[in-house]
Amino acid sequence: MATSITNHSVLNNGVKMPWLGLGVWKAKDGNETLAVRSAIEAGYRSIDTAAIYGNEAGVGEGIRQAGIDRDQLFITTKVWNADQGYESTLKAFDESMKKLSIDTLDLYLIHWPVKGKYVDTWRALEKLYRDGYVRAIGVSNFHSHHLEDLRQHSEIIPVVNQVEYHPLLTQKELHAYCKEQHIQLEAWSPLMQGNLDHPLLIELGQKYGKSPAQIVLRWDLENQVVTIPKSITPERIRQNADIFDFSLHAEDVEKIYALNDSKRFGPDPDNFDF
Ligand SMILES: NC(=O)C1=CN([C@@H]2O[C@H](COP(=O)(O)OP(=O)(O)OC[C@H]3O[C@@H](n4cnc5c(N)ncnc54)[C@H](OP(=O)(O)O)[C@@H]3O)[C@@H](O)[C@H]2O)C=CC1
Ligand SMILES: O=C1CO[C@H](CO)[C@@H](O)[C@@H]1O
């Protein structure tokens, strides 16, 4: 049970990853810098970006402005689909590191399972890991069949699978598979991209004296899912981190699970047109 913002998941290679991080998709034009700085000031120690978000340089700037020791932070970025393949991934990694202006990355993810490419991409991630440039390597948007395929064609197991996960898309089978394989599930769009007006979430918010966003983020923690809500609003950034002073009763966790209707806000990885 996570009781503090510094609580972490211990990944399958022993690296510690905070249960809560800040997402920064769509944060641009300086908002990403302000958001990262506000988050670090509020106690966040994990930031999730990606090459395709176009804000790695601004994220790096926010980290510097916060004036925190690099080893206190957990930074994730991702290789974009157009850069997949062995050599092109190594090049994309260098570019991301230059933009972030850091020497070592905490977590590098394959953003989507691009058919015919992700195994070679994974070999590049394995090299970066073995050479010490990345502390942990993982994937995003992988179904269990992608993970099985990778398992049969590679040596290192991903530490994390970052997938769309929220009350309307609970991914129970994938979650069970990841648990069995010691792959940490990480939730993207945990706040359903701001669609938080469901009556149950409002009712539970009133019951626990919390907002619907806090109820959903606490539900992630109860389910041992790493979560990375995005906000560029300092007050919401603080609110989203104020989830360590309460816990949900088991029956309420189940009520939220029951909202699942396999609703995706993003594409299904099997149908995504790369
Ligand atoms: N691997 C992948 O393929 C993907 C990864 N991601 C990652 O996951 C992160 C989170 O997902 P994302 O899609 O951004 O969406 P989220 O589910 O985190 O929702 C973000 C939206 O919710 C609003 N919001 C934040 N906090 C609150 C609150 N307390 N009350 C009400 N509204 C709130 C934000 O507004 P505002 O900012 O204006 O405060 C924003 O509009 C991304 O930023 C990215 O890092 C996302 C998509 C795909
Ligand atoms: O993380 C994400 C958000 O941005 C991308 C598109 O621009 C998505 O495809 C992706 O999954």
* Mean pLDDT, residues 184-203 taken together: 98
Task: Inform me whether the pLDDT recorded for 274 exceeds 90.
Answer: no
Write 232-236 long-range contacts (CB < 8 A, 24+). Answer: 232/27, 232/31, 232/32, 232/34, 232/35, 234/34, 234/35, 234/38, 234/42
State how far the Cα of 16 lies from the Cα of 74, in Å rounded to an integer: 9
User: 118: closest CA among 68, 144, 83, 168?
Assistant: 83
State how far the Cα of 238 lies from the Cα of 103, in Å rounded to an integer: 29
Task: Inform me whether the pLDDT recorded for 53 exceeds 90.
Answer: yes
Amino acid, single-letter form, for residue 85: G
The answer to whether the beta carbons of residues 191 and 229 sit under 8 Å apart is yes
Please provide the size of the chain in residues. 274
Identify the nearest ligand to the CA of 230 by its number.
Answer: 1
Please identify which of the residues 44, 53, 108, 177 carries the catalytic annotation. 53
Which pLDDT does position 272 carry in this prediction? Answer: 81
Would you tell me how many other CB atoms lie within 10 Å of the CB of residue 17?
23
Task: Inform me whether the pLDDT recorded for 12 exceeds 80.
Answer: yes
Which pLDDT does position 17 carry in this prediction? Answer: 98
Query: What tens digit of pLDDT does each residue of 86-101 get?
Result: 999 999 999 999 999 9
Ligand 2 pocket mutation, candidates 48, 109, 111, 163, criterion most atoms within 8 A of CB: 111
The answer to whether the beta carbons of residues 163 and 171 sit under 8 Å apart is yes
Pocket of ligand 2 (CB under 6 A): 25, 50, 52, 266
Q: If you search the block for the tokens 């092109």, which residue do you land on?
A: 88
Per-residue confidence at 61, pLDDT binned at 50, 70, 90?
very high
The answer to whether the beta carbons of residues 258 and 251 sit under 8 Å apart is no
The answer to whether the beta carbons of residues 228 and 27 sit under 8 Å apart is no
Q: Could you confirm whether 53 is annotated as catalytic?
A: yes
User: 239: closest CA among 208, 210, 216, 209?
Assistant: 210
Helix (H) or strand (E) holding 130: helix 118-130
What residues form DSSP beta bridges with 22?
47
CA of 55 from ligand 2 middle (Å) equals 13
Which pLDDT does position 260 carry in this prediction? Answer: 98
Query: What tens digit of pLDDT does each residue of 122-156 get?
Result: 999 999 999 999 999 999 999 999 999 999 999 99
CB-based contacts of 191, cutoff 8 Å, min separation 6:
166, 213, 216, 217, 229, 230
What pTM did the predictor assign? 0.98
For the domain spanning 8-194+224-232, the CATH number is: 3.20.20.100
Per-residue confidence at 259, pLDDT binned at 50, 70, 90?
very high
